[in-house]
Amino acid sequence: MTLRPEEVAGRAFAVFPFLKTSEPIDLGSFIFRSTEDTTGLSDEDSAHLREIADMLFLQNDLRIRSATYAILPPLNLDNDEPCLRELEHIQSIIAFCYSHPHPTLGHPFLAFEHASLAIFSPEPVSTFLARPEHHVTDIGTTTRLPQDEWDRVSGYQGRYNFRHPFWVIKNSRLYPPVPHIVLNHSQTLASDLVQFFESPRYNLLPALLRKPETEAGERVLTALSWFNRANALDIDDESAIVNLSIAFETLLALPKDAKTDRFVDAVSLLLGRVARLDEWAEQFYETRSDVVHRGKTTNLHFSPRTKKTSGNDLSYQPHLIYGRQIFQLCVSAVLFGASLSNNAGIADKLITNEERFRFVCKTLEDESLAIADRFKAIADTVALIDEFRFVGERGLLIKTMVGAVQCAAKNLLVSGAGLDSALKERMEGIANTPRSYDFFEALEALRDLHDLRTALPGDPQSPQALTQRLADAVWHYTFMHYHWLAEQRRNKAGQVSTKGC
């Protein structure tokens, strides 16, 4: 960053220079608007937006009339900021939607470069970066801006497509990442995305912006980013084949070995046993292997296996044309299957409560997290423990369950929650019970808490409510064992008393 320790960056801007929008649209946690729309902006932000919009050029002296932007919080572009990752996901989905193929020719509607994203962070910029002087001729009439004592002027540090840093000042020009790009007359982001997201092929994509942290969601988003690279204007067909194959491998989670066979099987399983689909899949992967292992290929086109009228193979459309369409269909199938699985709770049903109790212990002992964040992290897990406590389970250890409740009680006591004296006394009893070989004392403290029958707080996600629900689930599992241990101890005490007589 070019900021000094005492300086603070202003709010940043994310801009799609080559995509326009007719009205605002919500994507993830951002609202995207036309650069002609300054609704709700402060005077300072409006001035920044005007300066940025004036920098966007298509070619030569042709300034872009309007682009699409979103306001960001102040950023350090040298750090891995969470909002930057979310913007990458948004860009991936937008580029993926606009790459939908022509129904006959199969070419993408728009190339990846049309979804280029530039991020502008308002901050002082070194004049040596914004206006280098070595081996250049200044043919403009740009007004010189006042410099500070560190040779800086007011400007913007930026990132182009999250990879390329740039520094601009007022009256700078930002051109496309390729020599020539054409703006589409009919394109408008708001109405286009509404139409895309209503389509069966794309309707599950918005969920990736709401829950990108899931394993399946991250895998699909990563696959989309590789797919978009295969649709770029600045790469050759061989490189596009490799990028597309990586997209397939990521999406389908193909193993390291026997990729060709697994790829053919996965595509056929997702899309059905379509005639010649397996032939294309085999040939596509052979082409990919040629490029990866030999650096080139002569088999960029699909060759149907038909009776030959001559000694030459029939050559039809390029593998890329088919591959792009097949990948988009596979994405739809994977997302649909994942949604079915998610709605049925399959992943949750494959996890045991023993594993969940271990997770609770590990999370509540994580000193890198604030107490409130620890409880927030276990909220869903506690709910699942409660839901599945009536399912029979071998291997569920009293040691793990008691440990989880004791961790919760200790964290609750230092969380600052307002506990009444009776509940606080029971929680202290659980937290401070010494460990014994049969955990009888801990189970006895748990019984005392259960007998108190304190009502749950109004907020079911509060530390107190989560601790009580966890304790209730553990008591459900252990109360019979506790009474058996108590009976044993009474019998043993009686035997000792009889011998003493």
Per-residue pLDDT of the chain (501 residues; tens, 9 = 90+): 566 676 777 899 999 999 999 999 999 999 999 999 999 999 999 999 999 999 999 999 999 999 999 999 998 888 888 899 999 999 999 999 999 888 778 889 999 999 999 999 999 989 899 888 899 888 876 667 788 888 889 999 999 999 999 999 999 999 999 999 999 999 999 999 999 999 988 999 998 887 657 888 899 999 999 999 999 999 999 999 999 999 999 999 988 777 788 999 999 999 998 999 999 999 999 999 999 999 998 899 998 876 554 445 677 889 999 999 999 999 999 999 988 998 899 989 999 999 999 999 999 999 999 999 999 999 999 999 999 999 999 999 999 999 999 999 999 999 988 899 999 999 999 999 988 889 999 999 999 999 998 888 889 999 999 999 999 999 999 999 999 999 998 888 877 666 655
Phi, psi (deg, nearest 5) at residue 423: -65, -40
Tell me, what's the pLDDT at 427?
95
Rounded CA-CA distance 4/22 in Å is 39
**DSSP assignment of 94-147:** HHHHHTPBPTTT--BSS-GGGG--EEEEEEEEEHHHHS--TT----S-PPPPPP
Residue 159: enclosing H or E segment and its boundaries? strand 152-160
pLDDT of residue 475: 96
In the 8-state DSSP scheme, what is residue 9? -
Within 10 A of 16 (CB to CB), how many other CB atoms are there? 23
Q: Which tokens is 211 given?
A: 């829950």
Q: Which amino acid is at 369?
A: L
Q: 430 with 403: CB under 8 angstroms?
A: no
DSSP labels for 37-81? --TT--HHHHHHHHHHHHTBEEETTEE-S--EEEEE----TTS--
Question: Are 463 and 417 in contact, with CB atoms under 8 Å apart?
Answer: yes
Cα gap 175→294, rounded to integer Å: 36
Exposed, middle or buried: residue 392 (CB in 10 Å: 0-12, 13-18, 19+)? exposed
The CA–CA distances, whole Å, from 184 to 59, 114, 257, 381 equal 15, 9, 43, 48
Distance CA(33)–CA(52), nearest Å, equals 14
Does residue 32 contact residue 69 with C-beta atoms inside 8 Å? yes
Helix orientation angle between 319-344 and 259-271, rounded to the nearest 10 degrees: 70
Q: Are residues 247 and 241 in contact, defined by beta-carbon separation less than 8 angstroms? A: no
